[in-house]
Structure 1
Amino acid sequence: MPTYRHPGTVITDHSFRVPLDSRNPAGEQIEVYARAVVAAGRERESLPWLLFLQGGPGGRSPRPVGRDGWLDRALDEYRVLLLDQRGTGRSTPADRHTLPLRGDAAAQARYLAHFRADSIVRDCELIRRELLGEAGRWSVLGQSYGGFCALTYLSYAPEGIREAFVTGGLAGLRSTPEAVYRAAYPRVQRKVEAHYARYPEDVETVRAVVRHLREQEVRLPGGGLLTAEAFQALGTMLGTGAGSHSLHYLLEDSFLPGAPGRQLCDSFLAQVESHLSFASRPLYAVLHESIYGQRSVSPLGTGWAAQSVRAEFPQFDVDRALADGAPVLLTGEMIYPWMFSTDPALAPLAEVAELLARQEDWPDLYDPGQLARSHIPVAAAVYHDDMYVDTDESIATARSVRGLRTWVTNEYEHDGLRVSEGKVLGRLIRLVRGEL
């Protein structure tokens, strides 16, 4: 196990062999990587463990340099394990290069069906037993999708948890995929309208860009096709604290000044690609809607719910907005089937994504009965104006988990854990301990 030092921390690499399918522990094995971080000088202390579950799906764990962000607060009293959830980071990869090696699209889809929260939790339990022993319990911190995973953990393996912290990640326990997106489109619209109120000049800039994209084909530096609908997906930036300002700065560099005709700047296209490409996180796109699939709620599967529900919100139609002289609304955290033809990182996975969208009878991810009788202390930050996770659903879930204490705030957006310099985590720790 390699160990190295950063400023103020000591880091140890861990690699674990886990079964692809927990129902067949003697079958195929994959590798799951995790990085243990402890405060310098406390390496030999018997500190409690804190497992961090990253947002996503398909997001690797943070790569810290020293005691940065929320990690600084955590290291005051915990030994932290940063988990690269299966298929991400340094764990056994699942992408356009490795998945075709498994066979046809059906074989790849069967493989990826083992990459949801239920399988991640089973990995966590194997790792917990290896690091802490059978009787050891650890604290769990789940950010965004990591909070969804924490709810699955509390549902099916609560014996491994001593306390749990959730930030922006209380999922609806009984929400269909369609209901998730019916609630999401109005939230996104409010964020876009607030952005245009803050930066009125961006209304015409966005209209000019999408009009340009309707008139001619534009390729991103990596070869991806930038359509008007793909450009709309930049709205996902508006869910973070500085997202509106970052989007404005991106838009102000859109057209090349002094060029004959109208031409989009290379620097602008490079920035757009950095936000829209799924090259670094293909599982986010491939598995995104499956994180809402539960046989007791949506037995027929997810079926491209964001796309099917979008027709109920015609105000997001680009051509209608251009024809009416209206602001073009951007979209948010939605995955559409056309993304698998415009993004080179996703194109080889188009058939796999279609099969997963059609897959039925996904296992349930939450056990409301178990959550209602839970004895584990849980505290959750619910962001009042969260663009990615519905606030009403989060509060309903909080009421369904016995003993869960919530902190509802609009001081931070969805990225509050990352940008608050430990304040969000510190408050949740105090809530769990009854200090607030």
Structure 2
Amino acid sequence: MRTREDRPWLLYLNGGPGFPAPRVDGDEGWLRRALADYRVLLLDQRGTGRSTPLNRHTLTRLGPHLEHFRADSIVRDAELIRRALLGDEQWSVLGQSFGGYCTVAYLSIAPEGLREALITGGLPGVEADADTVYRHLYPVVAAKIAAHYEQFPGDRDQVRRIVQYLRAREVRLPGGRVLTVDAFRLLGNLLGSSTGSRQLHYLLEDPFSARQLSDAFLMRVQQELSWASTSPIYSLLHEATYAQNGVTGWSGERVRAEFPGLDFLGEMIYPWMFDNDPLLRPFRSLAHSLAQHHWPALYDLDRLRDNEVPVAAAIYAEDMYIARDLSLSTAGLIRGLRPWLTSDYGHDGLRVSNGAVLDRLLATLRE
């Protein structure tokens, strides 16, 4: 049996953009499985965690320099770390969600640093622009809503009552944010996780007290909506992760008009969020500037077509955050990539599968 010091290194790239590596207690199933074969490095991507975190006091001064906080820059950081830690030795990489985008960028920019690559719920559409991505994702959101109502039919009336109430009066969350109808619809982001439909149902179960939205309900809504504002990098750069040599121009808002009547919204960032959310309001002008920024291409398609790094990718058939058909298209473009299309898990399959997803991908590489 190899000692820990003999095991090769595995770089873990987590979701985002703008979130630090997970702070773990060692009992996570995927991590236990990884540590059986590797030493694992959890990278705080630039601007997060212990990597000089950016916040509302420092971020607005960066302006266009946020161009250097996308996947390509994270890859260059990783290469500096690899060379300092390992010299010329290669390491493996595991990319979850946005970490998968970083992994494909790694294959484009510095494949010589990789011995193998594993991707879970994060294979991007390398030939798709933001509009194309959203035209694939909005129908998935609609399907998730329909499935939720099929499982919890009473929630449809609860949603209708809440929307009517919000349209008739101004309601503020405990932190001061106005709970508009659109802000309420952002709760649909819950539907992308394995337990999200039940969480949404329990949230909607008893929202009123004495004919008013209860304080308990409003507090829980505030907690659920914090995903967009706890990391300003995420809110500012989420749409830019889809940009391919062009301008996004608030693509999520523009394409939404093609899908009217959605009771809930998914993982999209909208311009009105920077007016509605007090935590995002300081970044309003920067957000509008970045929406008109011309972003460089993230991926080298020729290099991906000639790829020699072993790659295995889990593609979740009903993923609400990553467009399945675009992932399958990319799987066909990257030479040697072995895809695993599954309906057994959702976007958080790596976290909830107790190591089974990672085990399957490692076995796929070693067949």
TM-score, normalised relative to structure 2: 0.97
Deviation at 1:92, TM superposition (A): 1.2
* 2:44 paired residue number: 84
Tell me which of 143, 152, 157 is aligned to 1:204: 157
* Partner Cα distance (1:355, 1:49) in 2: 39
The 8 Å contact of residues 176 and 292 in structure 1, kept in 2 or not, is answered as: yes
Tell me which of 82, 92, 103 is aligned to 1:128: 82
* Partner Cα distance (1:173, 1:122) in 2: 19
Aligned 1:246-395 pairs, distance under 5 A: 246-256=199-209, 259=210, 262-277=211-226, 278-295=228-245, 299=246, 301-316=247-262, 329-360=263-294, 362-395=295-328
* Partner Cα distance (1:225, 1:129) in 2: 49
The 8 Å contact of residues 50 and 81 in structure 1, kept in 2 or not, is answered as: yes
* Partner Cα distance (2:112, 2:178) in 1: 48
* Partner Cα distance (2:216, 2:30) in 1: 32
Identify unmatched segments of 5+ residues in structure 1: 1-40, 103-107, 317-328
* Partner Cα distance (1:377, 1:253) in 2: 50
Query: Is residue 186 from structure 1 mapped to residue 139 from structure 2 by the alignment?
Result: yes
Tell me which of 234, 241, 260 is aligned to 2:187: 234
Residue type of the partner of 1:417? L
- Deviations, residues 217-247 of structure 1 (Å, cap 9, x unaligned): 1111111121100110111111111110111
Q: Secondary structure at the match of 1:345?
A: coil
Residue type of the partner of 1:286? L
Residue type of the partner of 1:337? P
Deviation at 1:192, TM superposition (A): 0.2
* Partner Cα distance (1:216, 1:109) in 2: 36
Tell me which of 416, 420, 426 is aligned to 2:353: 420
* Partner Cα distance (2:363, 2:223) in 1: 37
Deviation at 1:98, TM superposition (A): 1.7
* Partner Cα distance (1:291, 1:66) in 2: 30
Q: Secondary structure at the match of 1:113?
A: helix
* Partner Cα distance (1:274, 1:53) in 2: 25
Residue type of the partner of 2:348? D
Q: Secondary structure at the match of 2:47?
A: coil
* Partner Cα distance (1:253, 1:88) in 2: 37
Aligned 1:1-40 pairs, distance under 5 A: none
* Partner Cα distance (1:189, 1:229) in 2: 15
Query: Is residue 139 from structure 1 mapped to residue 92 from structure 2 by the alignment?
Result: yes
* Partner Cα distance (1:385, 1:95) in 2: 34
Identify unmatched segments of 5+ residues in structure 2: none
RMSD of the TM alignment (CA)? 1.3
Deviation at 1:94, TM superposition (A): 1.7
The 8 Å contact of residues 75 and 102 in structure 2, kept in 1 or not, is answered as: yes
Residue type of the partner of 1:293? A
The 8 Å contact of residues 11 and 40 in structure 2, kept in 1 or not, is answered as: yes
* 1:54 paired residue number: 14
The 8 Å contact of residues 109 and 353 in structure 1, kept in 2 or not, is answered as: no
* Partner Cα distance (2:52, 2:176) in 1: 27
Residue type of the partner of 1:274? Q
Aligned 1:35-114 pairs, distance under 5 A: 42=3, 45-100=5-60, 102=61, 108-114=62-68
More deviation, 369-378/274-283: 274-283
Residue type of the partner of 2:230? S
* Partner Cα distance (1:175, 1:66) in 2: 37
Deviation at 1:42, TM superposition (A): 5.0
- Deviations, residues 125-162 of structure 1 (Å, cap 9, x unaligned): 001111111x1111000001110110000011001110
Q: Secondary structure at the match of 1:421?
A: coil
Deviation at 1:315, TM superposition (A): 2.2
* Partner Cα distance (1:93, 1:411) in 2: 36
* Partner Cα distance (2:64, 2:229) in 1: 22
Question: Who wins on radius of gyration, i.e. which is larger?
Answer: 1
Q: Which ranges of 4 or more aligned residues in structure 1 deviate by more than 6 Å?
A: none
The 8 Å contact of residues 229 and 235 in structure 2, kept in 1 or not, is answered as: no
- Deviations, residues 155-175 of structure 1 (Å, cap 9, x unaligned): 110011100000011100111
Identical pairs, percent? 57
The 8 Å contact of residues 15 and 97 in structure 2, kept in 1 or not, is answered as: yes
TM-score, normalised relative to structure 1: 0.82
The 8 Å contact of residues 28 and 351 in structure 2, kept in 1 or not, is answered as: no
The 8 Å contact of residues 88 and 94 in structure 1, kept in 2 or not, is answered as: yes
* Partner Cα distance (1:396, 1:168) in 2: 14
Residue type of the partner of 1:393? L
